[in-house]
Amino acid sequence: MITSFLVKSLDRTIVIAVAILLALAALVPALNLLTAPDHPLHVPTYLVSLFGKYLTYALLALALDLVWGFCGILSLGHAAFFALGGYAMGMYLMRQIGARGSYGNPLLPDFMVFLNWKELPWFWHGFDMFWFAALMVVVVPGLIAFVFGWFAFRSRVNGVYLSIITQAMTYALLLAFFRNDMGFGGNNGLTDFKDILGFNIQADGTRASLFAASALALALSLVVTSGIVRSKFGKVLVALRDAESRTRFLGYRVEHMKLFAFTVSAMMAGVAGALYVPQVGIINPGEFEPGNSIEVVIWTAVGGRGTLIGPIIGAILVNGGKSIFTAAFPEFWLFALGGLFVLVTLFLPKGVVGTAQHYLARRRAYRAASRLENETGLAEPMAAE
Amino acid sequence: MYRIFQTVLFALILLTAIPTSGLRAEEGLRELVNAFGEAKLSDMDEHIAALAKTGDPKVVPILEALGEGNLYARKADGQVFLTKEGGATLTLTDPVTGESAGEAQKAALSKVKVNNGVRRAVRTALGSLTLLSPDREARLRAAQSVLQSPNADALGAVESALAAEKDAEVRALLEQARATTLLMSDRPAAEKKEAVRLLREKGGREALPILSSALGSADETLKPEIEAALASIEQTQALWAAGQNVWYGLSLGSVLLLAAIGLAITFGVMGIINMAHGEMVMLGAYTTFLVQEVLRNSYPGLFDWSLAIALPLAFLVTGAVGLAMERGVIRFLYGRPLETLLATWGISLILQQSVRTIFGPTNQEVGNPSWMSGAFELGGLTITWNRLWIILFALAVFAALLFLLKKTPMGLQMRAVTQNRRMASSMGIRTPWIDALTFALGSGIAGMAGVALSQIDNVSPNLGQGYIIDSFMVVVFGGVGNLWGTLVGAFSLGILNKFLEPYAGAVLGKILVLVLIILFIQKRPRGLFALKGRAVEA
């Protein structure tokens, strides 16, 4: 069963993408660590971290593509799941600091000592163990998505209503995490991390490994999502995206399927957040900004929704552009981003990858048709688009 | 106590700058003052009372000086002067005319003797003197100051003032002051009981500490009385606090209504998700800022009219921006709500950044016209004028919009297009034109909301962002496509928010409201006042 799942999931583009990701996971750390700094092929550490960050963004965009591209749920709160995963990882990293904080308290993180707290809150227990934190990285976003989705899909909240509610969800979380009493560091969030699994978080080796881990996680998620959307279940997902009522009347439990996709997607977003935090070294409530979630949507839209590869390309393109743009003309980045939103929705509704695929398919159909014409002398009508 | 009288007196002196007494009164006064020179300590009380009885405001500085020990008699002729210390010499001031009378060696003067008994007499006299002052404002202030820091010593003065007082307002204050001071004195229990009853009737937050401090020293017979009074006052206070919360809730609700009402048109009636709605509000606020800048620099006299000028301008500016948005972007995206959402979000980013580039990222100063500043008291409520105007304005906009939609040909066409586009088109309505106008109308109303919100919020490029989620919540909660739903939704969310705040804190209250709305939408996915019939699935 698993093999058939794998075989089905691996069509040519996915195989190529996974191969590229695996190659990157091996090559980039090698070029960073094994070559001398003046070597022409040397990859500087800051680039490793930067692209590691892009890969986690790509994973987040992929997660959104699973629900938006294949299920028709436009979630405007996916950055919330990303941030929750990030907070779970951040809590582990905070506990790893131990007595090295500025107050030197072996148990309590600095901000709690600052707030005059005497005991560790109950929800901080267990985060000193990596396996527990890693579990929470997927469980917490998954659980919240499950509860939220269970309520939302059961009462058939869909379309823009769902989008607005997801936005309200991330807004509520934003407000909640800003509170000092919540026990998540309030405004400042969690930062000043020292090490992860015993390795110094600033070291080149750790950064290269985190990059490799991000690439591997992305490759694995690509295989999993591809498996999901190419399975029979995935076909029904697409059906309910295009005609929800009809799918329901055919006897499928639409809300269960949506709930499954939404929860899996939230878990993937959580993993992305967990890989993001050690690479940027901070997590704060700003990650819950509704604007962030909408930005994820534009990455996916630029790349092409419903294509799996598209969101990855889109996330890297837009964020690469953002890095270059904000360095060169910081004033104009928001103009560019806003323009991107408008232009993509107006002129590139299928995104870069979707449009490319569209043209490739047309060319193939045209060639097949002309070949047919040459062979039989009959003009066949062109294949429907 | 003394200091309070001093401040009262200062005010009094300022108020009674015009001398009213004739020459004869002056002579009489001088005689009375000079009597201090030879008086024995035992007779001082009488002299002071006699002086106080004149009711002349000039007596006040004399008595003050007496209390401070600054009253000296000249040995040569027995004349009494107000003095000021200056080393070996004293600066003399004539007590009656208030004119300087030169300097004199200390040896040539003898001090009018003062002891604690005299000082007490002076205090009482001073108290009753201001309480008896011919000037109503001074009496009012004196009574207020007694109320604010009550003292058993003042009881006698208050009572004598009460006997003479005719003005109803001052009388009421004096009665309250009498009850307050009486509770501190050693009067019999029956009188105290009466005082407690009076305080209970008057109520008010100030009565609480008076009664609770009286509770500590009261005897057994009085205790239940005081406790009952305390409970009753606390209850009325709680009622007023609830009333104040309702008021705050209405005020917040009016803000929500203003922000959401334009959205009720674009989202509710047309089904367009306009994420740039908040930016329309922001543009309206910046229009107000610009209008005020121009008026401040060129026509300062018209400043009070700035909002009246800004309103139509803001409507036109944001309406035009809305029209451009609809024609330029949104019309290509009809039927694709999610894409509309993204495109309008992009537009909102562009608008925000444009304003930031032009005006800078900092808050701009928008002033309140004079008729919008200040507050007034209504029972136990404090009502600020700007909030009141905004509530009225929100309701006026709502009514105007309702009228437009229900009673005008344009409104009729708008409703026809939203209900059945193809049929409306067949009837000869130019549907694209109506779409554009409707969207412009919704945007224009958002701009007018911005004019009002500029009065209570910071005018910065981020102004709109704070309102966008709230306004969507209001429209969704109230029911899409229903203006009345928006009205009820806005005010109920506002009041709910303000009632949760004292218990949960501002932020947690807001989160709770969001969670409640999310749960509510589970129950009624189409809002409080859902449209019924075929239009629902359209």
Tens of pLDDT along A109-131?
888 888 888 888 888 988 888 99
Choose the weakest-confidence range: A272-281, B37-46, B123-132. Answer: B123-132
Q: Chain B contacts of A180, Cβ < 8 Å?
A: none
Predicted local confidence at residue B55, as pLDDT: 63
Q: Please state the rounded mean pLDDT for residues B361-385.
A: 81
Q: Please state the rounded mean pLDDT for residues B128-146.
A: 73
Q: Report d(CA A54, CA A210) in Å as an integer.
A: 12
The string over B51-75, giving b where at least 16 C-beta atoms fall within 10 Å of a residue's C-beta and e elsewhere, is bbeeebbbbbbbbbbbbeebbbbbe
Facing residue for A346 by CB, picked from B329, B514, B525: B329
Q: Chain B contacts of A171, Cβ < 8 Å?
A: 469, 514
pLDDT higher than 80, residue A225? yes
Q: Please state the rounded mean pLDDT for residues B208-223.
A: 72
pLDDT higher than 80, residue A301? yes
Confidence grade of residue A80 (pLDDT, cut at 50, 70, 90): very high
pLDDT higher than 80, residue B379? no
Q: How far off is chain B from A155, nearest CA to CA, in Å?
A: 5
Encoded amino acid at A28, one letter: V
Q: What is the DSSP letter of A101?
A: S
Predicted local confidence at residue A146, as pLDDT: 95
Confidence grade of residue B13 (pLDDT, cut at 50, 70, 90): low
Cross-strand bridge partners of residue B72: B81, B111
Counting residues of chain A whose pLDDT is more than 70, the rounded percentage is 95
Q: Please state the rounded mean pLDDT for residues A264-274.
A: 96
Predicted local confidence at residue A61, as pLDDT: 96
Q: Chain B contacts of A339, Cβ < 8 Å?
A: 346, 350
Q: Please state the rounded mean pLDDT for residues A321-325.
A: 90
Nearest CA in chain B to A151: B522
Q: Please state the rounded mean pLDDT for residues B514-529.
A: 76
Predicted local confidence at residue B17, as pLDDT: 46
Q: Chain A contacts of B333, Cβ < 8 Å?
A: 345-346
In a domain, A385, yes or no: no
User: How long, in residues, is chain A?
Assistant: 385
User: For residue B522, how many other CB atoms are within 10 A of its CB?
Assistant: 16
pLDDT higher than 70, residue A371? yes
pLDDT higher than 70, residue A2? no
pLDDT higher than 70, residue A15? yes
Q: Is the dihedral of CA A252, A256, A258, A260 positive or negative?
A: negative
CA nearest B491: which of B220, B249, B317?
Answer: B249
Most confident of A216-220, B36-40, B156-160, B222-226: A216-220
Q: Please state the rounded mean pLDDT for residues B445-463.
A: 89
Facing residue for A172 by CB, picked from B352, B515, B521: B515
| Cβ–Cβ below 8 Å for A345 and B343 | yes
Q: How far off is chain A from B518, nearest CA to CA, in Å?
A: 7
Nearest 5°: CA angle at A175, between A172 and A179?
Answer: 135
Confidence grade of residue B534 (pLDDT, cut at 50, 70, 90): very low
Q: Chain A contacts of B336, Cβ < 8 Å?
A: 349
Q: Please state the rounded mean pLDDT for residues A160-183.
A: 86
Predicted local confidence at residue A89, as pLDDT: 94
Q: How far off is chain B from A344, nearest CA to CA, in Å?
A: 8
Domain ranges, residue A270: 2-377
Nearest CA in chain B to A335: B350
Q: How far off is chain B from A168, nearest CA to CA, in Å?
A: 7
Predicted local confidence at residue A377, as pLDDT: 55
pLDDT higher than 90, residue B354? yes
Residue A230 · residue A14 · CB < 8 Å: no
Q: Please state the rounded mean pLDDT for residues A71-84.
A: 93
Over residues B170-204, the pLDDT tens digits come to: 777 777 777 777 777 777 777 777 777 777 777 66
Q: Chain A contacts of B479, Cβ < 8 Å?
A: none
Predicted local confidence at residue B128, as pLDDT: 65
Predicted local confidence at residue A136, as pLDDT: 94
Q: Please state the rounded mean pLDDT for residues A29-57.
A: 88
Instruction: Name residue, tokens 């129950």.
Output: B523
Nearest CA in chain A to B273: A160
Encoded amino acid at B195, one letter: A
pLDDT higher than 70, residue B117? yes
Q: How far off is chain B from A111, nearest CA to CA, in Å?
A: 20
| Cβ–Cβ below 8 Å for A175 and B473 | no
Exposure on the CB side of residue B1, measured as CA atoms within 13 A: 18
Counting residues of chain B whose pLDDT is more than 90, the rounded percentage is 18
Among B267, B279, B344, B349, the residue to mutate for chain A (most A Cβ within 10 A):
B349
Helix H or strand E encompassing A35: none
Interface ipTM above 0.90 = no
Q: Rounded mean pLDDT of chain B?
A: 80
Q: Chain A contacts of B339, Cβ < 8 Å?
A: 345, 349
Into how many domains does chain A fold?
1
Predicted local confidence at residue A58, as pLDDT: 96
Confidence grade of residue B346 (pLDDT, cut at 50, 70, 90): very high
Facing residue for A335 by CB, picked from B342, B353, B517: B353
Predicted local confidence at residue B474, as pLDDT: 87
Exposure on the CB side of residue B70, measured as CA atoms within 13 A: 17
Nearest CA in chain B to A156: B525
| Cβ–Cβ below 8 Å for A165 and B518 | yes
Chains A, B: CB pairs < 8 Å:
117
Chain B residues touching chain A at CB-CB below 8 Å: 273, 275, 329, 332-333, 336-343, 345-350, 352-354, 356-357, 469, 472-473, 476, 507-508, 510-511, 514-515, 517-519, 521-523, 525
Q: How far is CA B84 from CA B9, B10, B91, in A?
A: 19, 18, 5
In a domain, A384, yes or no: no
In a domain, A190, yes or no: yes
Confidence grade of residue A372 (pLDDT, cut at 50, 70, 90): confident
Q: Chain B contacts of A163, Cβ < 8 Å?
A: 273, 338, 341
Choose the weakest-confidence range: A51-65, A293-307, B219-233, B447-461. Answer: B219-233
Residue B369 · residue B304 · CB < 8 Å: yes
Q: Report d(CA B73, CA B112) in Å as an integer.
A: 7
Among B275, B341, B477, B515, the residue to mutate for chain A (most A Cβ within 10 A):
B341
Q: How far off is chain B from A189, nearest CA to CA, in Å?
A: 17
pLDDT higher than 90, residue A138? yes
Choose the weakest-confidence range: A220-234, B125-139, B410-424. Answer: B125-139
Facing residue for A175 by CB, picked from B348, B511, B517: B511
pLDDT higher than 90, residue A217? yes
Q: Rounded mean pLDDT of chain A?
A: 88
Predicted local confidence at residue A383, as pLDDT: 46
Predicted local confidence at residue B446, as pLDDT: 92
pLDDT higher than 50, residue A256? yes
| Cβ–Cβ below 8 Å for A165 and B332 | no
Predicted local confidence at residue B531, as pLDDT: 59
Choose the weakest-confidence range: A39-53, A284-298, B462-476. Answer: B462-476
Confidence grade of residue B337 (pLDDT, cut at 50, 70, 90): confident
Predicted local confidence at residue B528, as pLDDT: 73
Q: Please state the rounded mean pLDDT for residues A170-175.
A: 89
Choose the weakest-confidence range: A122-126, A287-291, B214-218, B295-299. Answer: B214-218
B196 exposure class (CB count in 10 Å sphere: 0-12, 13-18, 19+) = buried
pLDDT higher than 90, residue A216? yes
Residue B243: helix, strand or coil by DSSP? helix
Nearest CA in chain A to B357: A331
| Cβ–Cβ below 8 Å for B339 and A176 | no
Backbone φ, ψ for residue A165 (5° rounding): -70, -40
pLDDT higher than 60, residue A378? no
Facing residue for A165 by CB, picked from B329, B521, B523: B521
Nearest CA in chain B to A339: B346
Among A160, A173, A294, the residue to mutate for chain B (most B Cβ within 10 A):
A160
Facing residue for A160 by CB, picked from B341, B357, B473: B341
Q: How far off is chain B from A169, nearest CA to CA, in Å?
A: 8
pLDDT higher than 80, residue B232? yes
